[in-house]
Amino acid sequence: MAEPLAFRVVRGGLLVAASSYFNILFGTQRSADENLLREGRLHDKICFVGKVMIDMLLRHREWALQRPVLERFDAAPGEYVLVTLHRPRNVDDAAKLTAIVEALSLVRERLSVIFPVHPRTRNRLKEFGLLERAMDLLGARLRELLGHLELLHLMARGRVVLTDSGGIQEETTIPGVRCLTLRPVTERPATVTVGSNWVIDSAPERVVPEVERIPGLLIAVSSPRGYHHLC
C-alpha cells in the first residue's frame, strides 16, 4: 500500500530542511541528484554513490551463477518465471491472492513457475484454503524461501520475474531480465526509466498477456549497471 500523501509530504519536507545543513549530499540515483539541484543545492556538494545493494549484487553475481540451482528445480535457462510475493496488499486479501494463484496457473501452461514462498504468503495461502491449490499447480517449485545467492541465480537465468518486492525491482536491472511488478505503483521509478521494469498490478487479465509478451532473450536496458556509479 502506498504511503499516505500527508505522511510523504511531511517526511519530504523534513528531508528538504535537513539537507540544507549538510556539506556533502550522497545520492543513490540520478533523479535524487536532479531533485537536489532543483532545491538549489550546489552541484559540487552532490555526490552520486549508487546503492549498496547493487554493489553487493555485482560483487556476488559470478559466485551466485556458479551454484547448481536450476538442477534442483529441473528448470532450463530462459524457460521459467520466478515469482516472489509478500506485500500485504497482495497476500492479505483473499480475493486478490486467489486471483494471483489462478493467474500463475495460466502462466504455468506456457512456462515453468518457480515460487519461493515468503512465510507471510504461506500463512495466508493456508488461511484462505489456497495452499493445496498452489501445491497442485506448482508442486516442488513451491518452495520455502531461498538464500540470496540462489535467488540471484534464478533471477538472472529466468525469462521474467513477477514480484511485489522493491529490492528485486532494482536487482533485475543488472542481468537485464524483465521484471513485472505486481503493484499499481513503484517506489523505484528509475527501474522503469532504464527499461527493465513494467508496473502492471496483479490482475490476471494483465499478468498473463504481459508474460506472453516477453521474448526468451535478455532485454536491453538503457543503463545496464542500473544505479551503480561513483562520483
Which regions of the chain are under pLDDT 70? 1-21, 139-140, 216-231
Name residue, grid cell 512456462.
111
pLDDT of residue 17: 56
Q: Where are the domains of the chain?
A: 5-49, 54-213
Instruction: Say what the pLDDT of residue 29 is.
Output: 77
Q: Which pLDDT value is given to residue 6? A: 42
| Spatial separation of the C-alpha atoms in residues 62 and 55, rounded to whole Å | 13
Cα–Cα distance for residue pair 219/191, rounded to 1 Å = 13
How far, in whole angstroms, is CA 159 from its chain's centroid?
Answer: 14
- In the prediction, which pLDDT does 175 show? 86
Annotated catalytic sites, by residue? 86
Question: What pTM does this model have?
Answer: 0.80
Is residue 104 within 8 Å of residue 113, measured between CB atoms?
A: yes
Q: What is the pLDDT of residue 172?
A: 92
pLDDT at 153: 94
Q: Give the model's pLDDT for residue 16.
A: 54
Beta strands in the chain (DSSP E): 25-27, 46-48, 80-84, 112-117, 142-144, 160-163, 178-181, 197-199
pLDDT score recorded for residue 57 = 86
pLDDT reported for residue 230: 38
Is domain 54-213 in CATH 3.10.20.600, yes or no?
Answer: no
Q: What is the pLDDT of residue 219?
A: 52
Q: Residue 151 carries which side chain, given as an amino acid letter?
A: L
Distances (CA, A) of 136 to 58, 133, 149, 169: 36, 5, 27, 28
